Amino acid sequence: MHLHLAYPTVLAALLFCVGLYGVLARRNAILVLMSVELMLNAVNLNLVAFDVWLRDSLHAGQALTLFTIAIAAAEIGIGLAIVLAVYRNRGSSAVDDLRDTAEGPDEGPDDPDGTDEQAAPAQKAEATA
């Protein structure tokens, strides 16, 4: 029985495209991590399919797949830990809110210390009055 290489590669391409769409379009950090996992599984499917198609005696594609699975497991563990820590601090796991974690909720990119230069003279005048 001969493996038709087109079937697993088309499936892997579809999985990768769905994962790429999820990474680019989703705002929830957990959904982004799930999309990255889809992309890694598409790579694993290609590695195994080409390993079988090439009839490699060392099974290098399957060995690389095991390494990819181990890296994906470590990535999801660390990624979920980071997402949970951010959710506890900020109350949201939206990716848009995590642009700069050094900024506080009231601070903007132009206002690093949280004080407004235009409001400072008015506050000094109120304090002296």
pLDDT per residue over 71-107, tens digit each? Answer: 999 999 999 999 999 889 888 888 887 776 656 556 5
Residue 96 has what pLDDT? 82
Closest CA to 79 of 91, 69, 71: 71
Query: CA–CA distance from 34 to each of 10, 13, 14 (Å)?
Result: 20, 17, 15
Percent of the chain exceeding pLDDT 90 equals 60
pTM of the model: 0.72
Contact 3, 49 (CB under 8 A): yes
The sign of the dihedral angle between the CA atoms of 72, 77, 80, 82 is negative
The 8-class DSSP code of residue 101 comes to T
pLDDT: which is higher, 50 or 108: 50
